[in-house]
A and B are shown apart, each in its own frame.
Chain A
Amino acid sequence: MKVFVFGGGGDVGEYLLRKLAAENHEAITIAETENRAEELKMIGASRVYVSNDYDFIEAVSGCEAIIYVAGANPRAGENRNVLVDKEAVARAMEEARKQGIERVVYLSPARVDESAKSQETGDKKMPEELIKQDVFTYTIVYSSRGVHKPGKGMIDVITSPSKKVMEIPYEDVAAVLVESLTNKATYNKTLKVASGNTSIENALKNI
C-alpha cells in the first residue's frame, strides 16, 4: 500500500518507516532538510519531500492511506501554545478529502495515562474532530509513554482510564499503527494501547 506518513522523522516515525518498508508498503514522508531526507530514505522511506519546497498535492496524490503521527513542528509557526499543529492536520485532511484518500490512522499526542486535564493541554485533542469526518475510515490511537526499548510485539488495549504510568516501546507503537492500517476491526475506532500480553494482531482483532 502507498502510505503518506506525517511525522516520519520523530521517535515513532523512524520505526514506522522501518516497519512499513519491512511489510512491503511504500512510505512517503516529509523531512525538514535534504540531509534528514537522505537519512529517512536510508531508514526505509521510498520517497521523502523536503518541507520548504514540496508540492503538497503532488506529495499526497496516489497515496491510499495516511498515517499521521501528530505533534508540533517548531518551524510550522502556528501559535506556540499548542502541542499539536492543528492547521497542519486540517490542511492534510482537506487535501486527503480532495484526493479521495479514505484511510487515516492517527496517533494522538495525548497519552493514555495522562489525566483528562493534561490531555486537553496545548489543544492536544482538538484535531480529532478533523479526523472523524464521514469521508474517512479513521483509527485514532492513544499510546502510553514511549520508550526506546526493543518492541516485543505484545500489547494490551486499555478500556478503562488508568493513572498508572505505563510504557510501550516506540517500535510497538509503530507496529500498532501499521497493523491498524489494514485491520478492519480498528476502522472508525479510538484505541488506547500499552505494553501487554497479547500479540498486536490478536489484540486489535478483538477490540
Chain B
Amino acid sequence: MGKITKYLPSALVGSTIAAPLAYIAYIYQKDNHQKQHAVLRNFPLLGRVRYMAEHVGPELRQYLFSGDNEGLPFSRMQYQDIVKAGKYNERLIGFGSSRNFAEDGFYIRNSLFPKLRTELKVDNSQKVTTYQYVIDNEGLMSRKEHREEVLTDPYYLRDEDAVVLGEGYCRQPFRIKGQVGMSAMSYGALGENAITALSKGLGIAGGTWMNTGEGGISDHHLAGDTDLIMQIGPGLFGVRTPGGEFSWEAFKEKADMEKVKAFEVKLAQGAKTRGGHLEGQKVTEEIARIRLIEPGKTVNSPNRFTEYDSFEKLFGFIEEMREIGGKPVGMKIVVGDVEGLEEMVQIMKDSGKGPDFITIDGGEGGTGATYQELADSVGLPILTALPIVDELLRQYGVRDRVKLIASGKLITPDKIAIALSMGADLVNIARGFMISVGCIMAGVCHTNTCPVGVATTDPDLQDGLVVGEKMYRVANYVMSLRAGLFNVAAAAGVESPTMLERKHLTHKDIQGRISSVGSMLHKIEQEEREEKDVEDLPVKN
C-alpha cells in the first residue's frame, strides 16, 4: 500500500508522457518502413499532415473558403437557392445579385411593358396545402424557426397551354400542367426514403412527373400521387425476362398501370454515354428483386440496346411499344454527333415514325456513378445541344410531332426559362430535387455512404431522412420554380412560360456585346462557308 501511494504519481506522470511518445515512435517507424507512400518514407509522421489536409479540403472549401459563386457542380448560392425555395418557399434576395456580370452568358430580354399579374395565363384555381418554415429569430449560434401549414398557389399552366406528350399518335397522350419534372433517378441510386419523399412531394405539387430511372418501378415510386415516366435502359430492368430478353408481357403490365403515363428509352445520359452503373454495396435484396439481379453485385448496363443499332430498328421498337402500351414513348439522348442527329430527323420525316418526345441531357448532367472521362468530355452541354435538336426538327418539319425535354443543371427558374426559350417544352431536374430532400453535395453517391441518407440504400443512414418533412420541400421547390417561371415570363412580356421563344433571349459576350440566339445551325453553316471562301480565294502572285 505504501509503495503504491509512493510510486503512483510518478508512474502516472511517466506513463502520460511515455505512452504518446511510444505511439509517435511507433507511427514514425511504421511510416518510415511502409512502401506505399514516398512522402511518408521521406517525412515520417509529418507527411501525414498532407493526407489529413487533402481529406478535409473539400469540406473546408465548401463551407469556409470558396466564394459564394464558386464550387462546382453547384455553388453555395445555387445550393441555397434550392434549399430556401424548398424550406421557406422563398426566392427573395436582398441587396442584389451575386452573379458575375463581367462574364459572358445568356440574359432574358425584358419587355418595357411587362405583363401584369392579372394578365398572366396561370391556373391557380386549386390551392395546394403544404408546410413551410418561418424564421422567428436568427442569432449567431442558433436559429429559431417553426413549420406552418399554408395554402399555396401551385402555378399550373392553363388547360389550353398544357404540354401534351404523344397527342394524336397514341391512345393515351400524357397531359402535363407544369413544365418542370423529376429527371431519371433510380431506386437503388437513391434510397427508398428519398424516392418516397420525392414521389409524395411531387404528388402534392401536381402538374409534374417523376422519371423512374432505368432501375424499374418500385413501390416507393408509387408511394405518392404523382405521374410516372418509366425509363427503359439497355439493362431492361423491370421489363425483361429472367434470360435478359425484353419482355413484352412485363412491359404490358407496366403500361397498364394507371400512374405510368409514358415510357422513355434511354440511349444515354449527359454524365455517361453508356448504360447505368450501380455499385454492389447499394444492391440490396429488394433492389435485386426489382431488377432481377444478384444482390451485392455491381450492375453495369450495356452501352447500348444490344439489338437496336440503327434508327430504323430503334424506331420500330418505339412504334411497337406505343402500339402495345398505348402510351407515349420518348427517347433520351446526349448530343454530340450533329450529322447523326440529322440522319435521325431525316428518317423521322421520311418514315413518319419516331419518338413522341426527346429528352436531351446536357453533358453537365448529374449521375449516381460515372467515369471521369465520360462525364467531363463526352457530350455537349445543354444550351448548345438543345437548340441544335430544336432547329434540326424545325428544318425537317417534324418539330410539332415531338416534345423536347431538356436537362443539365437547370435548377433555378431563370435557367429553366433560358432552356424553354431555347426550344425546350419541358425541363427535367435531378440534383435540384436531391438537394430538396436533403443532399449536401458530399459527392459520394457511388459509395453508399451518403451522409444524409439520400443516395444510399443503407437503412441506418436513411434513418436521417424523414419523409414527412422532406416531401413538402419537394412540393415547395416545384411550385416555387413554376412561380418563378411565370415571373420571368411576365418580365419578358408574355403571358405564360410556354410562350418563351428564342427572341426573348440574348447572349452577352465578355466584351459586353450582345448577339441574338436565333439560329445555332445557321451560324455553324455560315462559319463553314466563310472558311471555305477563304480557302477559295485566288492566290495573288
Pairing of A with B:
yes
A31 at interface, CB cutoff 8 A? yes
CA distance A31 to B150 in the complex (A): 26
From B113-121, B374-382, B394-402, the one touching the partner chain is B113-121
Which residues does chain B contribute within 8 Å of A44, judged by CB atoms? Answer: 125
If A33-B116, A33-B119, A148-B150 are given as contacts, then 15 extra A-B residue pairs at C-beta distance below 8 Å, sorted by A number, are A9-B118, A32-B118, A33-B118, A35-B118, A35-B120, A36-B118, A36-B119, A39-B123, A42-B125, A147-B150, A149-B150, A149-B151, A150-B129, A150-B149, A150-B151
Which residues does chain B contribute within 8 Å of A148, judged by CB atoms? Answer: 150-152
Check A31/B118 contact, CB under 8 A, given A39-B125, A42-B123, A43-B125: yes
- Which positions 123-159 of chain B face chain A at CB distance < 8 Å? 123-125, 129, 148-152
Measured CB to CB, the closest approach of chain B to A7, in angstroms, equals 14
B264 at interface, CB cutoff 8 A? no
B192 at interface, CB cutoff 8 A? no
A113 at interface, CB cutoff 8 A? no
Name 25 interchain pairs, CB-CB below 8 A, sorted by A: A9-B118, A31-B118, A32-B118, A33-B118, A33-B119, A35-B120, A35-B121, A35-B495, A36-B119, A39-B122, A39-B123, A39-B124, A42-B123, A42-B125, A44-B125, A147-B150, A148-B150, A148-B151, A148-B152, A149-B148, A150-B149, A150-B150, A150-B151, A169-B151, A171-B151
Interface residues, chain B, CB within 8 Å of chain A? 116, 118-125, 129, 148-152, 495
Measured CB to CB, the closest approach of chain B to A107, in angstroms, equals 19
Number of residue pairs A-B, CB distance < 8 angstroms:
35
CA distance A43 to B124 in the complex (A): 8
Contact A35 B125 (CB under 8 A): no
CA distance A43 to B123 in the complex (A): 9
Which residues does chain B contribute within 8 Å of A150, judged by CB atoms? Answer: 129, 149-151
- Which positions 8-35 of chain A face chain B at CB distance < 8 Å? 9, 31-33, 35
CA distance A169 to B148 in the complex (A): 12
Which residues does chain A contribute within 8 Å of B495, judged by CB atoms? Answer: 35
Which residues does chain B contribute within 8 Å of A42, judged by CB atoms? Answer: 123, 125
Which residues does chain B contribute within 8 Å of A39, judged by CB atoms? Answer: 122-125
CA distance A43 to B156 in the complex (A): 13
Measured CB to CB, the closest approach of chain B to A37, in angstroms, equals 9
CA distance A63 to B129 in the complex (A): 33
Which residues does chain A contribute within 8 Å of B116, judged by CB atoms? Answer: 33
Which residues does chain A contribute within 8 Å of B125, judged by CB atoms? Answer: 39, 42-44
Q: Which residue of A lies closest to B160 (CB)?
A: A38
Q: Which residue of A lies closest to B115 (CB)?
A: A35
Measured CB to CB, the closest approach of chain B to A150, in angstroms, equals 5
Which residues does chain B contribute within 8 Å of A9, judged by CB atoms? Answer: 118
CA distance A44 to B149 in the complex (A): 24
Residue among A31, A39, A171 with most chain B CB within 10 A: A39
Q: Which residue of B lies closest to A147 (CB)?
A: B150
Q: Which residue of A lies closest to B125 (CB)?
A: A42
Which residues does chain B contribute within 8 Å of A35, judged by CB atoms? Answer: 118-121, 495
Measured CB to CB, the closest approach of chain B to A30, in angstroms, equals 12
Measured CB to CB, the closest approach of chain A to B259, in angstroms, equals 25
Q: Which residue of B lies closest to A33 (CB)?
A: B118
Which residues does chain A contribute within 8 Å of B122, judged by CB atoms? Answer: 39
The 0/1 profile, CB within 8 Å of B marked 1, for residues 159-187 of chain A is 00000000001010000000000000000
Contact A149 B149 (CB under 8 A): yes
Measured CB to CB, the closest approach of chain A to B247, in angstroms, equals 44
Measured CB to CB, the closest approach of chain B to A19, in angstroms, equals 12
Which residues does chain B contribute within 8 Å of A33, judged by CB atoms? Answer: 116, 118-119
Measured CB to CB, the closest approach of chain A to B151, in angstroms, equals 5
Q: Which residue of B lies closest to A152 (CB)?
A: B149
The 9 tightest CB contacts between A and B, nearest first, are A42-B125, A36-B118, A43-B125, A33-B118, A32-B118, A148-B151, A148-B150, A150-B129, A150-B151
Which residues does chain B contribute within 8 Å of A149, judged by CB atoms? Answer: 148-151
CA distance A39 to B119 in the complex (A): 10
Residue among A35, A36, A44 with most chain B CB within 10 A: A35
Which residues does chain A contribute within 8 Å of B123, judged by CB atoms? Answer: 39, 42
Which residues does chain B contribute within 8 Å of A32, judged by CB atoms? Answer: 118
Which residues does chain A contribute within 8 Å of B129, judged by CB atoms? Answer: 150
CA distance A31 to B118 in the complex (A): 9
The 0/1 profile, CB within 8 Å of B marked 1, for residues 133-157 of chain A is 0000000000000011110000000
Which residues does chain B contribute within 8 Å of A147, judged by CB atoms? Answer: 150
Q: Which residue of A lies closest to B117 (CB)?
A: A36
Measured CB to CB, the closest approach of chain A to B214, in angstroms, equals 38
Which residues does chain A contribute within 8 Å of B118, judged by CB atoms? Answer: 9, 31-33, 35-36
Which residues does chain B contribute within 8 Å of A43, judged by CB atoms? Answer: 125
CA distance A35 to B123 in the complex (A): 11
CA distance A185 to B118 in the complex (A): 37
The 0/1 profile, CB within 8 Å of B marked 1, for residues 43-63 of chain A is 110000000000000000000
CA distance A169 to B118 in the complex (A): 23
Which residues does chain A contribute within 8 Å of B152, judged by CB atoms? Answer: 148
CA distance A31 to B117 in the complex (A): 12
The 0/1 profile, CB within 8 Å of B marked 1, for residues 62-91 of chain A is 000000000000000000000000000000
Q: Which residue of A lies closest to B495 (CB)?
A: A35
Q: Which residue of A lies closest to B120 (CB)?
A: A35
Which residues does chain A contribute within 8 Å of B148, judged by CB atoms? Answer: 149
Measured CB to CB, the closest approach of chain B to A57, in angstroms, equals 25
CA distance A36 to B116 in the complex (A): 10
Which residues does chain A contribute within 8 Å of B119, judged by CB atoms? Answer: 33, 35-36
Which residues does chain A contribute within 8 Å of B121, judged by CB atoms? Answer: 35
